């Protein structure tokens, strides 16, 4: 008989590696930074940063001033109409030779013209404070331009009943700038522009002013006028 051969175990057959089933198991991904996860829902838009730049009171003031600018545009229209009508009346009276009545009627022209110019100044002041609102949270450090605008609006508020938002803005400005500043502004002293004071509280019955405006209206309409005999 042949010699019996030594039988060795055969190596295992290498097949494709099959991954273990994942059902019911949680796949853990790379660790997330804790700060990133906390801040993921808190990104601030530029608008939010802008709003938080000012105090709540200043934001309210800005809104009121912006509304006042819109209100000024509305308030101009009826005043322009009244000025136009009054100017037409003056022309007609002068054409009829009724100089004395023309001098009386011209007071309305002066009144409306003054108010229109005052509205222009108020609009500029509102835009100034809106643009430089960052200074309003530190009133003592405000520029002279901002102080003049604030004082002018405080003065004008009581004399412009057709600008209701300005009344509310005045209260906030008074609170920001203090009692002494507000007291001076209300009577038109301190840094209030004398031109604004005149436009809102000047004497429109001055005979010299009435003659001057009447002459201007006559010249614009090619009406010959002699006021030498008028008082």
What are 122-160's pLDDT values in tens digits? 999 999 999 999 999 998 899 999 999 999 999 999 999
> How many CA atoms lie within 13 Å of 118's alpha carbon, on the beta-carbon side?
27
10 Å Cβ neighbour count for 170? 23
Q: 210: closest CA among 139, 116, 113?
A: 113
10 Å Cβ neighbour count for 121? 18
Q: pLDDT over 90 for what percent of the chain?
A: 69
The length of the chain in residues reads 231
pLDDT at res. 205: 87
Indicate the DSSP class of residue 4: P
Residue reference for tokens 């109409």: 81
Higher pLDDT, 10 or 176: 176
Helix axes 144-157, 164-177, angle to 10 degrees: 130
SS3 category, 121? helix
Residue 49 predicted with pLDDT over 80? no
pLDDT at res. 20: 54
pLDDT at res. 204: 84
State the Cα–Cα distance between residues 73 and 123, nearest whole angstrom.
9
Architecture of domain 55-220 in this structure: Up-down Bundle (1.20)
Higher pLDDT, 142 or 42: 142
Residue 109 predicted with pLDDT over 90? yes
The domains of the chain are located at: 55-220
Token pair of 19, please? 């991954």
State the Cα–Cα distance between residues 100 and 93, nearest whole angstrom.
9
10 Å Cβ neighbour count for 217? 20
For the stretch 25-38, pLDDT in tens is: 554 455 555 454 45
Name the pLDDT band for 9 (thresholds 50, 70, 90): low
Name the pLDDT band for 168 (thresholds 50, 70, 90): very high
State the Cα–Cα distance between residues 42 and 63, nearest whole angstrom.
26
List, as one string, the DSSP characters of 124-175.
HHHHHHHHTGGGTTSGGG--HHHHHHHHHHHHHHTT-TT-HHHHHHHHHHHH
Radius of gyration of the chain (CA): 39
């Amino acid at each position: 008989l042949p010699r019996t051969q030594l039988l060795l175990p055969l190596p295992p057959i290498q097949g494709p590696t099959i991954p273990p089933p994942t059902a019911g198991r949680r796949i853990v991904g790379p660790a997330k930074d804790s700060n990133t996860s906390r801040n993921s829902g808190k990104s601030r838009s530029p608008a939010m940063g802008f709003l938080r730049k000012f105090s709540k009171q200043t934001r309210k003031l800005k809104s009121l001033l912006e509304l006042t600018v819109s209100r000024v545009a509305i308030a101009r229209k009826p005043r322009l109409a009244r000025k136009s009508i009054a100017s037409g009346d003056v022309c007609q009276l002068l054409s009829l030779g009724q100089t004395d009545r023309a001098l009386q009627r011209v007071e309305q022209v002066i009144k409306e013209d003054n108010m229109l110019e005052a509205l222009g100044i108020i609009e500029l002041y509102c835009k100034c404070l809106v643009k430089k609102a960052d200074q309003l949270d530190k009133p003592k450090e405000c520029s002279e331009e901002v102080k003049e605008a604030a004082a002018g609006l405080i003065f004008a508020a009581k004399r412009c009943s057709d600008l209701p938002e300005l009344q509310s803005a005045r209260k906030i400005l008074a609170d920001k700038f203090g009692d002494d500043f507000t007291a001076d502004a209300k009577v038109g002293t301190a840094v209030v522009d004398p031109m604004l004071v005149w436009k809102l509280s000047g004497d429109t019955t001055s005979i010299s002013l009435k003659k001057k405006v009447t002459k201007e209206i006559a010249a614009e309409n090619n009406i010959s006028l002699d006021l030498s005999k008028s008082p």
